[in-house]
Homo-oligomer: A and B are copies of this chain.
Amino acid sequence: MALIVRKYGGSSVASLDHIRRVAWALASAKEEGDRFVVVVSAMGGETDRLLKMSEEITPQPSSREQDALLATGEQACSALLAITLESLGHRAQSYTGMQLPMITDGIHSKARIIDLKTDVLTRALDEGIIPIVAGFQGVSENGSITTLGRGGSDTTAVALAAALKADCCEIHTDVDGVYTADPSICPRARHIVRISYPEMLELASLGAKVMHVRSIELAQKYQVCLIVKSSFHNDRQTWIVNEEEIMENSIIKGVTLEKNVSKISLIRIPDRPGIAYQIMQPLAEAAINVDMIIQNVSIDGYTDLTFTIPTTDLGKASALVNEVAKKIGALEVRADNNIVKVSAVGIGIKTNPGVAAKMFKSLSAEQINIEMISTSEYRISCVIEEKYGELGVRAVHKAFGLDREDSTETIQ
């Protein structure tokens, strides 16, 4: 008998009605003889409600306490789902991260799992009880409640699937799988039936909101079979598998648009050794993730340096950079948040040297200026002006032959 971990995201449990529908789905799966462990997020909107409260108290809440606060969202939701299942005549029990326990390191708000006990879950399964695990949370070795970061319930689910040696981990969400682009931007986006772990990882890192990045890393590491599907419709789904399991590979699997991008430029800085380090070090210390960096050719011993960061860190980064700029004698610091990043993702990129050129051509054909470029094994990213973002996605999507012809087409 197969053992499956089924994870339901916030939009799938957004109201008591939603929770009831999830319970019905679980009850009928149970009656068909499935064995499963359920992982839930907080009810849609609940985490934001709690965050708003702590932000109302102080812009920089104690991270230990914020974790204790946020963890209540998943705990309440897991209890509500268990209550609903029991009211339908099924035995169900909720578990917090501490009750399992899921041991993490002590880095609050982005804890990493160290150890995960599944004894209480296997015992529950043996007794015919449906275990409902509160996602997103764990407990540090010194007994504090920790959380895994926004979207962390995916990681809880994959970690449980790995620890339980489950046959599969299903991510139930409000879409029926992964698409070649966001269908609201690109109406001709196609549904993807199979995608490799590294491709999915790039898509998630680049702003496709389907899954938590860390959960995909973990799934690849422990070879957990992952399926993304709709909570309430059974028609289509996306399998996330090993590269080898994908027979016919298209060069590009998907196109993403990342909006949380800003750039900072330092104009006319002295071009001497260690200058980049001096600029980047304070940002690293502040845990600000610098993505692309461009340094111009040096003229008369001076150069310009431009780099991108998440817009959410722009205020903090500007303050730090302005300080350094004074110290090193830069002429000027410019910040710009009117940019976006368009990326093409696919395992075909590393073996197809013409891909980058094709992407640049498709953008320039639309008169879109490329401000910055970066490439990696599985992706090519171009920073362009914000207003061209959606047009850029459609242009690249079309150029790589991803546009579908009719409404039901999917790519393998």
Contacts and interface: CB of A to CB of B under 8 A. Distances in A.
Contacts of A65: 79-80, 82-83, 86, 92-94
A82 B78 CA distance: 25
A53 interface: yes
Contact of A61 (B53, B62, B87): B87
A242 interface: no
B57 A84 contact: yes
B94 A80 contact: no
B82 A62 contact: yes
Contacts of A96: 68, 98, 145
B83 A79 contact: no
A346 B120 CA distance: 51
Query: Which of the four size classes fits the interface of chain A?
Result: 35 or more
Given A16-B53, A93-B65, A143-B120, A58 B87 contact: yes
A35 to B, nearest CB: 21
Given A57-B20, A76-B50, A143-B99, A86 B69 contact: no
Contacts of A57: 16, 19-20, 80, 83-84, 87
Interface string A55-69: 011101110111011
Contacts of A144: 93, 99
Contacts of A92: 62, 65
A9 B66 CA distance: 22
Majority SS at the chain A contact face: helix
A41 interface: no
A48 to B, nearest CB: 14
A72 B96 CA distance: 11
A169 to B, nearest CB: 24
Contacts of A86: 58, 61-62, 65
A278 B75 CA distance: 44
Nearest to A59: B87
Given A16-B53, A87-B58, A143-B120, A64 B93 contact: yes
A54 interface: yes
A221 B80 CA distance: 37
A72 B49 CA distance: 14
A64 B124 CA distance: 14
Given A93-B64, A143-B120, A69 B83 contact: yes
Interface string A105-137: 000000000000000100000000000000000
A214 to B, nearest CB: 24
Contacts of A84: 57-58
Nearest to A139: B99
Nearest to A69: B79
Most B C-beta atoms less than 10 A away, residue of A71, A76, A83, A145: A83
Contacts of A53: 16, 80
A120 B143 CA distance: 10
Contacts of A58: 83-84, 86-87
Most buried by B among A65, A87, A93, A144: A65
B54 A68 contact: no
B66 A79 contact: yes
Given A53-B80, A69-B79, A99-B145, 17 more contacts: A50-B76, A54-B79, A54-B83, A57-B84, A57-B87, A62-B86, A62-B92, A65-B80, A68-B75, A68-B78, A68-B79, A69-B75, A72-B75, A72-B76, A72-B79, A98-B99, A120-B143
29 contacts: A16-B53, A16-B56, A16-B57, A50-B76, A53-B80, A54-B79, A54-B83, A57-B80, A57-B84, A58-B87, A60-B87, A62-B82, A62-B87, A62-B92, A65-B80, A65-B82, A65-B83, A65-B92, A68-B79, A68-B82, A69-B76, A69-B79, A69-B83, A72-B72, A96-B145, A98-B98, A98-B99, A99-B143, A99-B145
